[in-house]
A and B are shown apart, each in its own frame.
Chain A
Amino acid sequence: MARTLMSGNEALARGAWEAGAVVGVGYPGTPSTEVLENLVNYDGVRCEWAPNEKVAAEVAGGVSLGGARTVVTMKHVGLNVAADALYSQSYTGVTGGLVYVVADDPGMHSSQNEQDTRNHGVGARIPVLEPSDSQEALEFIRSAFDLSERFDVPVIVRMTTRVSHGKGLVETGERHEVPVKPYQRDVPKNVMMPGNARLRLRHVNAREGDLAAYGAVAPENRAEYRDNALGVITSGIAYQYVREALPDASILKLGLTVPLPDALILEFSSKVERVVVVEEMDPYLSLRVRALGVQIDDVDLPRSGELSPRIIAAAFGQEPLATRAPVEGLPPRPPLLCPGCPHRGLFYSLGKVRAVVTGDIGCYTLGSLPPLKGMDSCVCMGASVGMAHGVALAGSTERPVVAVIGDSTFAHSGITGLLHMAYAGSHGTVVILDNRTTAMTGHQGNPVNGVFINGEAAPEVDLEALSYALGVASVRTVDPHQLDATLAVLREETVAEHLSVVISKAPCALLVKEAKDPFAVDEELCTKCGACIRLGCPAISRDETGRAVIDTATCVGCGQCVQVCRFDAIVGVGPSCDLGGGR
């Protein structure tokens, strides 16, 4: 059978489809997003982006209650949002198979924290499967559905960035149609109030033992005996690194890591002379193995971030590879707002208001970097709104307090915060950065932009009407590319003695299809004042003399710089002739 190159996320989508899932639901979040984006292309599965992970988990819970198989996807921090659903779904169990795909991001490539999802498996007392490559992603999610129904439990498939976004060869199978179970009302199982929940907790307790016993025979757990001088206990991507770094070592490869198979661990440990645990992120395996009384030999591995074959090799005393000398003094290259990004215009204008700005998560978080420095805080999705209110309550500053939040983030968890501000009589200002999409994670549809996951049109929430309905006194919509008009509105609303919402509305630059002509700097007129540089646009830099230059291949003609130049030195030049070159 021919094998196909697939990312872990593509393989999960394939596996969920093969397992007969009829619904996929989730909220985007790197590195999990591509699971649903691929699943939507399969026949027989309905996919939906929910406004947040909790709603997604509840939709999935309903699908399961309705007797059908479903997968719900999110990144690690998303499970915090969905945890309320999950921890009680653990009690109700499932009717149709219910599988959570949760992707962790060791090293924080695209995340605000590092979080090990195995802890949520322990907390919710549900199984966690950890694939180590794309083939296992497909196989494990299929097993997850079977385990879910067999043990009456939601199951987590825990991914990490390298497994989700790494590609490898996968042998695919066929779809296995699972008949939807007829709906049956079962109050003791599904209505979690104390009397019922206490009974269901007995099920949870018993199930934990059953699952632990299953772990000893689960195909996802296996001992590979090679040289018995060294035995490594490992899971997930770390397994691949160990195979490369320590080809002769015996390995206990754990795929079902919650609950852990104690008997297997003890058996393996007794057959090797030296036991070492190699795992990324939290010391989850090692704590448990130690608790079993196994003598672990500690090697020097990092407590956070990603592992790699050479990090492991070094920890086992192998000589470092010969390398070239690094080139010193290179400027870093952080990600930045794209040329023509509407967020830039908003932050440029907002900077002039001298407000305390509580921020939120999305592309616009990049507006916190110099030169815009447009944000004082960024914690978790939706936090900007509640925190703006809280900063005002602290009473330590006379400056206006402004929350900035993207459209998808507002739908995710900003609405309740705004409701609270209205209820609590806040006079703050909330700026909704409505760039018509969920840009950071790759332009997903959301309830604000009216695009469904399959590309079809969906109802679009009316942000103005919604804000008024929540109790906001003044709602203004601005075009952030119009800097003066935007500033005027921000000035008025931040000093006004009422709660206000400013909707900064212009599409993401990457969604703008019609190309505008680029601008260029008139060398005679440029006074080297640097005003345009303070926009932080990647198309604008200074030449050796300090004069501004615009890279016509990068410029998309948004015109923000034209407005900040007081010397009319930025002028239209007609279509770029330097196609794609741009030096």
Chain B
Amino acid sequence: MSITTVVLAGVGGQGTILAGDVLAKVAVAEGHDVKLSEVHGMAQRGGSVETFVRFGERVFSPVVDPGVADHLIAFEETEAARTLTYLRPGGTLVVNRRTMASLPVLIGDLPAPTGLEEALFAEGAIFLDAEALACEAGSPRSANIVLMGAASYGLPFAVESWERVISGRVPLKTVDGNLRAFHLGRNACAEGACAL
């Protein structure tokens, strides 16, 4: 009974919900049982957000505990560090090289965290700059799809399935840009360019 568990972590508004939906639909298209869990509501107003996607022959729990995730795809570095405990030893860690200060930091109540990249690197993180690649794809708001491209490199799904799901899920006008974004993210990992 082998189940693959992916955690997407980021900041409300970064597009984790759409990314998780795409990933779950690809897993369905590839014939897996799938469960997804995320929380809507308050957290979407700029708070920490996480989406769990699990697939395999039969999945029961939609919720993920520390030490269970095989892949952690972090949309922001502080959130990568915050959710790192989900990732099992040996799991893959993909981190968007972006930091967004939270309110206590913005207003000077708390210091900004330091040394995050080093700490994440020591945990085996592979980094990429999803916003830059999204701009390169001509679709600045598709950083979430860039990250799905990066994640896709380590997941057992056909590129065509990803392309089909993405094309059906994003606004019509942005399909080409999102597909370019997906491939830029995927190639970055394939070429090792997303390593530090």
**Chain B: how many interface residues by the 8 Å CB criterion?**
67
Q: Mark B76-90, 1 if CB is under 8 A from A, else 0.
A: 001101101101110
Interface flags, A324-349, vs B, CB<8A=1, else 0 = 11110111111111100000000000
Option from A5, A323, A530, A542 in Cβ contact (under 8 Å) with B24: A5
Identify A582's interface contact among B43, B45, B131, CB under 8 A: B131
Contacts of B33 in A (CB 8 A): 168-169
Whether A563 sits at the interface, judged by CB under 8 Å, is no
Cβ-defined partner of B108 (8 Å) among A161, A369, A542:
A542
Q: How far is the CB of A278 from chain B (nearest CB, A)?
A: 13
Verify if A306 is at the interface (C-beta below 8 Å from B). Answer: yes
- Whether A330 lies near B65 (C-beta < 8 A) is no
Query: Which residue in A166, A330, A441 is a CB contact (below 8 Å) of B62?
Result: A166
A538 to B108, CA, bound (A): 12
In Å, the complex CA distance between A307 and B84 comes to 20
Quick check: is A393 within 8 A (CB to CB) of the other chain? no
Contact partners of A352 in chain B: CB under 8 A: none
A338 to B45, Cβ gap below 8 A? yes
Q: Is the CB of A241 within 8 A of B61?
A: yes
CB neighbors of A among B22-66 (8 A): 24-25, 28, 33-48, 59-66
Q: List 17 A-B contacts (CB under 8 A).
A: A31-B39, A110-B40, A110-B41, A237-B63, A308-B61, A308-B65, A322-B88, A327-B84, A330-B78, A330-B81, A331-B111, A331-B112, A335-B47, A370-B103, A440-B45, A536-B103, A580-B143
**Complex interface residues of chain B between 153 and 188 (CB less than 8 A to chain A):** none
Cross-chain contact B46 with A162 (CB below 8 angstroms): no
Contact between A540 and B61, CB atoms less than 8 A apart: no
**Given the known A-B contacts A310-B68, A321-B65, A580-B140, are A442 and B40 also in contact in the complex, defined by CB atoms under 8 Å?**
yes
Of chain B, the residue at the smallest CB distance from A333 is: B102
Query: In the complex, what distance in Å separates the CA atom of A363 from the CA atom of B43?
Result: 11
Q: A333-B48, A335-B12 are in contact. Are A370 and B37 (CB under 8 A)?
A: no
B196 at interface, CB cutoff 8 A = no
Q: Is B11 close to A, CB under 8 A?
A: yes
Interchain CB contact (< 8 A) of A167 among B36, B98, B112: B36
- A residues near B (Cβ < 8 Å) are 3, 5, 30-31, 33-34, 109-110, 133, 161-162, 165-169, 237, 240-241, 243-244, 247, 306, 308-311, 320-327, 329-338, 363, 366, 369-371, 440-442, 530, 533-534, 536-538, 540-542, 579-583
Q: Does B192 contact A (CB under 8 A)?
A: no
Name the one of B42, B61, B113, B131 contacting A329, with C-beta atoms under 8 angstroms.
B113
Pairwise interchain contact B79-A321, C-beta atoms closer than 8 A:
no
B63 touches A334 (CB 8 A): no
Q: Check B190 for interface membership: any CB of A closer than 8 A.
A: no
B191 at the interface (CB under 8 A from A): no
> Does B132 contact A581, Cβ atoms closer than 8 Å?
yes
Given contacts A306-B63, A324-B87, A331-B113, contact A30 B35 (CB under 8 A): no
CB of B135 within 8 Å of the partner chain:
yes
